[in-house]
Amino acid sequence: MNQIKNIIQHPKLLLFPITIWLATRLIIAIAMLVIVPLSSNSSPEVDIKFGWDVFFAWDSQFYKTIATSGYEYSLEKKQYYTAFFPLFPLLCRAVMSMGLTFEIAGTLVNNLAFSLTLTILYFWIKERYGKSTSRWSIAVLAWCPYSIFGTVIYTEGLFLLCSTAALIAFDKKQHIWAGFWGALSTAVRLPGIALIPAFLFVSWKERRGITAYIASLAVGLGVVFYSLYCQIQFGDALAFIHAQKGWRDSAGFAWQGWLKMLMEITIGKANTRYAYIQDPWHPIILLIILVIAYLLWHFRVYLGSIKFHYGLCILWLLLWILVGDELVKSVLIFGGVYLLWFSRAKIPLVTVIYGFCSYALIFNTGITASAERYTYAIVSLAIAFGLLLARYPRWGYTILGFFAILLVTFSLRFAQNQWIA
């Protein structure tokens, strides 16, 4: 309440989070609504969409069907709509009651939720660590290329809002609000259940009392109520789990998928596809880049910080051009695990446990597809990254510059109905 009162009295405090949100969303909008249509003149074979439809692709179609026609579920007919949780389509339906189309409603709901996420995260981190860390934290979250899913018709914005609000409330020992926002998280997406073990562990570790335990268990109400709906409507309380067969045959660690990604990084996609070294240039160039990186590190004192910095940046760009999305995906996922462990003593305990529990879910889905998108939605990583970049701002600006390139690239691809994550 004190924060809200302070914001009302000093609206300039909102300037930075709003500016970051507007700048990044403007870049996405220009890429999708201006650059793509202009490029269609030279590439007539590209599937181009205009207006609000540009934000509609892939999972968006499931949410539209749910919001407009309700749930459909039949494994025999391959109707897997119950895999998508109800809060986002319900909010879209509410906005549609104002006379708006689903495309407009879905875009507005996700963007508003994402902007609120940046705002509440900014003030939480500012209160804990100061202005510099808070700015870097939300800058990372907003400029990260996967933040495009906080603008298009997906649930990332809403999930980040609910999970972040739940973590903030629990950290401040506002247990009723923690349970409320946690329940909303599990009504948005199943990974919200990672909040439950995080809250329970911290409740035990800090001896918080019975209300903290009740709030921890209340987080699961989103799943419980949705399960009851599935039982009443379809006679299958676990319909949302059984519907996962549309994307995966079984759960568990997808070691084959992760091994394939590693092989694509090290020897190249073509060589991985044919299971032998058909194109030797990929591993040769990769080896050359790694050798040069080692030499840069070994002679960094003689080269000086500026040459060392720019040298590594050039090598990273070359590596990205060589490897592609798999490089970004692997660094985000596995680098995020290391960063979370490295920052475990610096960020709130509840966010550390929540982060590792979220990773446990990601690594046990049975597939590797979309793992990077789910990793992006772990707000703990943005906090840890913000703390790191506040110490090394030169690297921070470089990373944000690379993020901007990827953000434009991802926006162009999504607008052309190409798969991202």
Provide the residue type at 81 as one letter: Y
**How far apart (Å, rounded) are the C-alpha atoms in residues 340 and 348?**
11
Q: Is residue 167 part of a domain?
A: yes
- Count of helices and strands (H, E) across the chain: 23, 2
Q: Global pTM?
A: 0.93
- Give strand pairing partners of 79: 74
**How far apart (Å, rounded) are the C-alpha atoms in residues 75 and 317?**
45
Q: What's the domain count of the chain? A: 1
Q: Is residue 192 part of a domain?
A: yes
**How far apart (Å, rounded) are the C-alpha atoms in residues 403 and 357?**
26
Q: Which residues contact 104 (CB under 8 A, 6 or more apart)?
A: 52, 95
Q: Is residue 305 part of a domain?
A: no
Q: Is residue 188 part of a domain?
A: yes
- Helix (H), strand (E) at residue 307: helix 305-323
Which structural domain, as residue segments, surrounds residue 233?
2-247+382-415
Structure tokens at 366: 């049975």
Q: Is residue 377 part of a domain?
A: no
Tell me, what's the pLDDT at 48? 62
pLDDT at 43 over 60: no
pLDDT at 137 over 50: yes
- pLDDT tens profile 140-175: 999 999 999 999 999 999 999 999 999 999 999 999
Q: Is residue 330 part of a domain?
A: no
Structure tokens at 114: 């994402």
Half-sphere exposure of residue 146: CA atoms within 13 angstroms, side-chain side: 22
pLDDT confidence band for 75 (50 / 70 / 90): confident
Q: Which residues contact 292 (CB under 8 A, 6 or more apart)?
A: 311, 315
* Mean pLDDT, the chain, integer: 92
Tell me, what's the pLDDT at 369? 87
Taking residues 338-346, what's their average pLDDT? 96
Q: Is residue 293 part of a domain?
A: no
**How far apart (Å, rounded) are the C-alpha atoms in residues 107 and 91?**
11
pLDDT at 44 over 90: no
pLDDT confidence band for 79 (50 / 70 / 90): confident
Q: Is residue 197 part of a domain?
A: yes
- pLDDT tens profile 294-338: 999 999 999 998 999 999 999 999 999 999 999 999 999 999 999
pLDDT confidence band for 247 (50 / 70 / 90): confident
